[in-house]
């Protein structure tokens, strides 16, 4: 995943720590950023990762946010 520079370190730390919750948050933030810039395919890719990791981590709020975005674009 090509993250914005300010999120790369945070994401790398989350991966190394096997922190699914933090990874889900990073993917969600990146998805929202991509969606804002109009890159819907990349946004949905990141929303999907955020959703799966959020489910694994028990992060209901992140999972719901990601799922709503995926549904919005018919990608659920």
The verdict on residue 20 lying in a domain is: yes
- Indicate if the pLDDT at residue 2 is higher than 60: no
Say how many C-beta atoms besides its own lie within 10 A of residue 43's C-beta. Answer: 23
The verdict on residue 66 lying in a domain is: yes
For the record, the structure tokens of 31 come out as 């998805």
The verdict on residue 1 lying in a domain is: no
The verdict on residue 42 lying in a domain is: yes
The verdict on residue 3 lying in a domain is: no
Distance CA 23, CA 17 (A): 10
- Looking at the structure of the chain, the number of domains it has is 1
Parent domain of 49: 9-72
The verdict on residue 2 lying in a domain is: no
Angle at 50 between CA 66 and CA 52, to 5 degrees: 100
23-67 tens-digit pLDDT: 999 999 999 999 999 999 999 999 999 999 999 999 999 999 999
The verdict on residue 4 lying in a domain is: no
Lowest mean pLDDT of 2-11, 12-21, 22-31, 35-44, name the range. 2-11
For the record, the structure tokens of 63 come out as 């999972």
């Amino acid at each position: 995943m090509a993250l914005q520079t300010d999120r790369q370190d945070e994401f790398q730390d989350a991966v190394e720590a096997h922190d699914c919750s933090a990874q889900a948050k990073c993917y969600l933030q990146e998805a929202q950023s991509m969606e804002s810039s109009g890159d819907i395919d990349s946004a949905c890719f990141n929303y999907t990762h955020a959703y799966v990791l959020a489910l694994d981590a028990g992060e209901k709020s992140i999972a719901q946010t990601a799922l709503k975005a995926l549904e919005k674009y018919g990608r659920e």
